[in-house]
Amino acid sequence: MNDKLIIETTDLTKTYRHYEKDTGLMGSVKSLFIRRYSSKTALSNFDFAVQKGEFIGLIGPNGAGKTTLVKMLTGIISPTSGTISVLGYYPNKLENAFKKQYAVVMGQKSQLFFELTASDTFMLFKELYGIPDETHKKNLDYFVDLFDVSQFLNVQVRTLSLGERMKMELIVALLHNPKVLFLDEPTIGLDAVAQKQVRHFLKEVNERSGTTIILTSHYMEDIKSLCKRCVVVNNGEKLYDGETDALFEKYQSHKKVTVTFAHETLLALPAECTLIEQSAYKASFLIPKGLTREILRELMKQNELDDITIEEEEIGRIVERIYHNTRTVVQ
Amino acid sequence: MNKSLRFIAVLLKMKLSHMMVFRISFFGGFFVDSSLFLLQLLMFNAIYSQVDSIGEWSKGQMLIFVGTFSLLNAINMTVYFFGVNGIPSKIKSGDFDHYLTKPINPLLRLTFENINLGSAPLVLFSIGIVIYGMSVQGGSASPAACLLYVIFILLMALLYYDMEVLIRTLPFFVISTDSIEQLECAMFDLCMKIPGVVFKGIFKLIFYFILPYGIMATIPAQIITESISPVGIIYAAIVVILFTVLALRFWKFGLRHYKSASS
């Protein structure tokens, strides 16, 4: 095995069995005697390899299988079939020697103690991972300085903003110098400033410490600015695995534009645009990338616009396009 | 081992800090537990004002039995009840994920995560009742009986823990265990009021072999009153070992079936 290869999965599959019931009381009574189950394949024959020091983005719509993959890589759940190796370990064996070498941050599940201060959680993690005093102090000082959060260390966690809390989550995850960091939607719900700070922090960690980072995110900006390589997942299958720039170059063909009007307006869009939604004072639509300036200039001439927002296309649309255009895995 | 003890010490420190944030709940738990304890004593006083013995057990023996059960309950409430009791909700919500990713036995962490020092004074009250029961009984226990009593209190606290873990491991496989927890509560209440020696036939089989709540306070009470045979002591020790092995194996089996929850 290549000694730079730290994560490798072959034909990794996870299938869940769900209990199904008809609606209403009769359905409940029937289900008491006749149980009906259905299977859902959350991840199917997934081949995946990660080299040491890589920063990889996992993208895909809700329910695509990204979180399932992260949960199998961290040992939280076991695969149904296939092989999996992370840092040379089988994750679901849950060996402490393995757990000491990675960290996981889940945007929607906190590992901080809400009623206590972040410093209290740092103390617990120091003991948990057996971090020597010197390393703990050095790392803590470095990360606290990088995030500029020294003023929040002794404040009750529940009183912190979502952004401040996520910074603390990242600090606590990195105190023991993990070789691999799994991040599941770390910027979800954060404002633009906090998102930017988190991105800067992660970039620094990846570049300075050589920490391998696997990131799942719905935000294009996270993936574009951080991950050189990305993997697109949909319905448990890998649709794309390659350079992020190449992916966006090829499949992100539109910009999402939202305009608001000063007066009630019925917007007439040119044929090249795709309308997403429209109301009397607001409209959202997609414009082909190369035509953005030209079309917007024309729209401004014809309508009294109050405001314009130009965004990257949503991940879901790109995934949809890849799925429909290729139907094959691009390597 | 040292690492685990140090970790438990940090958990205890954190729990103390946490409890002091909420002053009312810090003292509240103690008042609730003390009230339940006093109610039970009042009930036994009422019963023994009408009868001289229950199933050949005198008032003194019954006081020792009640004190012993209260002692076990106090140890349970102080050390592990609130931690173990939180397991089902963590499994159902997916919060259990974080416990699996940390380099410490998740059961150890869950067990000692919610130590409740508010119930600790009840340990002393319960010991007081046992001593009072001994004086009512009119005899004194030998040092060997006292030592064996302490050992069996710890073993029975472990058995109590095993029973709690077994039930709270079920959510790895089924959606709701509320009814089973209610049944556990009812059986525990029953065995807290009636010494195991009173059970006969099928009830003896249930409370001595299948769900051994019946031996938890009865055996230590019999030990300190020196009214148990060596076979009875060996039997109780074997039950504890079997249930401990069963609880740990079932827990490990449950871990392998953990499905997490969608985020």
- pLDDT per residue over B116-167, tens digit each? 888 888 899 899 989 988 998 887 788 999 999 999 999 999 999 999 999 9
CB atoms within 10 A of CB A141: 11
Same fold, A5-250 and A254-312: no
Contact between chains at A116 and B102 (C-beta distance less than 8 A) = no
Q: How far is A185 from chain B (nearest CA, A)?
A: 10
Contacts of B6 in chain A (CB under 8 A): 127
Domain membership flag for residue B262: no
Contact between chains at B101 and A76 (C-beta distance less than 8 A) = yes
Domain membership flag for residue B261: no
B190-247: per-residue pLDDT in tens?
887 788 888 888 888 888 888 899 999 999 999 998 888 999 999 999 999 999 999 9
Residue in A78, A107, A109 nearest the CB of B95: A109
Domain membership flag for residue B263: no
> Which of B 94-123 lie inside 8 A of A, CB atoms?
94-95, 97-98, 100-104
Whether A329 has its CB under 8 Å from any CB of chain B: the answer is no
| Six-digit token string for B142 | 């030998």
Whether B18 has its CB under 8 Å from any CB of chain A: the answer is yes
pLDDT-based confidence at residue A329 (cuts at 50, 70, 90): very low
Class of domain A5-250: alpha beta
Percent of chain A, pLDDT > 90? Answer: 47
Distance CA B249, CA B235 (A): 21
B123 SS3 class: helix
B176 SS3 class: coil
Distance CA A265, CA A262 (A): 8
Whether B21 has its CB under 8 Å from any CB of chain A: the answer is yes
Contact between chains at A115 and B10 (C-beta distance less than 8 A) = no
Q: Structurally, how many domains does chain B consist of?
A: 1
Which region holds residue A270: left if phi is over 0, alpha if psi is between -120 and 50, else beta? beta
Task: Give the model's pLDDT for residue A331.
Answer: 41
Contacts of B10 in chain A (CB under 8 A): 123-124, 127
Residue span of the structural domain in which B38 resides: 2-256
Task: Compute the count of residue pairs across chains A and B with CB atoms less than 8 Å apart.
Answer: 72
Give the single-character DSSP code of B175: S
Listed by start position, the domains of chain A span 5-250, 254-312
Contact between chains at B263 and A108 (C-beta distance less than 8 A) = yes
Residue A193 has pLDDT above 70, yes or no: yes
Nearest CA in chain B to A63: B262
Give which of A19, A43, A71 to mutate to test B binding, by max B Cβ within 10 Å.
Answer: A71
Residue B107 has pLDDT above 70, yes or no: yes
Whether A39 has its CB under 8 Å from any CB of chain B: the answer is no
Q: Output the CA–CA distances (angstroms, integers) from residue A193 to A104, A105, A149, A199, B26, in the order listed.
A: 23, 20, 14, 10, 40
Task: Give the model's pLDDT for residue B21.
Answer: 67
Task: Give the model's pLDDT for residue B1.
Answer: 63
Residue in A76, A115, A130 nearest the CB of B18: A115
Task: Give the model's pLDDT for residue A17.
Answer: 82
Class of domain A254-312: alpha beta
Q: What is the DSSP string of B8-51?
A: HHHHHHHHHHHHHHSHHHHHHHHHHHHHHHHHHHHHHHHHHTT-
Whether A16 has its CB under 8 Å from any CB of chain B: the answer is yes
Give which of A115, A154, A172, A176 to mutate to test B binding, by max B Cβ within 10 Å.
Answer: A115
Nearest CA in chain A to B94: A109
Beta strand A282-288 pairing with A274-278: antiparallel
A294-320: per-residue pLDDT in tens?
888 888 888 888 899 888 777 777 777
Residue type, B76: N
A82-140: per-residue pLDDT in tens?
999 999 999 999 999 999 999 999 888 888 988 788 998 999 899 889 999 999 999 99
Q: Determine the average pLDDT of the residues in B6-18.
A: 81
B138 SS3 class: coil
Task: Check if the beta carbon of residue A227 is closer than 8 Å to that of residue A181.
Answer: no
Contact between chains at B18 and A104 (C-beta distance less than 8 A) = no
Contacts of B256 in chain A (CB under 8 A): 78, 92
Q: Determine the average pLDDT of the residues in A65-92.
A: 95
Question: Angle, nearest 10°, between helix axes A118-129 and B2-21?
Answer: 170
Which of B178, B187, B185 is closest to B89 using CA atoms? B178
Q: How far is A21 from chain B (nearest CA, A)?
A: 14
Contact between chains at B263 and A106 (C-beta distance less than 8 A) = yes
The full length of chain A comes to: 331
Whether A189 has its CB under 8 Å from any CB of chain B: the answer is no
Contacts of A108 in chain B (CB under 8 A): 263
Task: Give the model's pLDDT for residue A330.
Answer: 43
| Six-digit token string for A165 | 């809390």
Contact between chains at A94 and B100 (C-beta distance less than 8 A) = yes
Q: Determine the average pLDDT of the residues in A178-202.
A: 90
Task: Give the model's pLDDT for residue B22.
Answer: 65
Residue A217 has pLDDT above 90, yes or no: no
Give the mean pLDDT of chain A.
88
Task: Give the model's pLDDT for residue A264.
Answer: 87
B172-205: per-residue pLDDT in tens?
988 777 778 888 888 888 887 788 888 888 888 8
| Six-digit token string for B115 | 């130590």
Planar angle of CA B91, B245, B67, nearest 5 degrees? 85
Task: Give the model's pLDDT for residue B25.
Answer: 63
Q: Determine the average pLDDT of the residues in A48-72.
A: 92
Q: What is the 3-state secondary structure (H, E, C) of chain A?
A: CCCCEEEEEEEEEEEEEEEECCCHHHHHHHHHHCCEEEEEEEEEEEEEEEECCCEEEEECCCCCCHHHHHHHHCCCCCCCEEEEEECCECHHHCCHHHHCCEEEEECCECCCCCCCEHHHHHHHHHHHHCCCHHHHHHHHHHHHHHHCCHHHCCCEHHHCCHHHHHHHHHHHHHCCCCCEEEEECCCCCCCHHHHHHHHHHHHHHHHHHCCEEEEECCCHHHHHHHCCEEEEEECCEEEEEEEHHHHHHHHCCEEEEEEEECCCCCCCCCCCCEEEEECCCEEEEEEEHHHHHHHHHHHHHHCCEEEEEEEECCHHHHHHHHHHHCCCCEC
| Six-digit token string for B88 | 């089902």
Contact between chains at B94 and A77 (C-beta distance less than 8 A) = no
Contact between chains at B256 and A78 (C-beta distance less than 8 A) = yes
| Complex ipTM tops 0.85 | no
A224-239: per-residue pLDDT in tens?
889 999 999 988 999 8
Which range is least confidently modeled, A130-134, B35-39, B89-93? Answer: B35-39
Whether A124 has its CB under 8 Å from any CB of chain B: the answer is yes
Contact between chains at B98 and A111 (C-beta distance less than 8 A) = yes
Task: Give the model's pLDDT for residue B23.
Answer: 61
Which of B63, B68, B80, B188 is closest to B122 using CA atoms? B68
Give which of B97, B113, B253 to mutate to test A binding, by max A Cβ within 10 Å.
Answer: B97
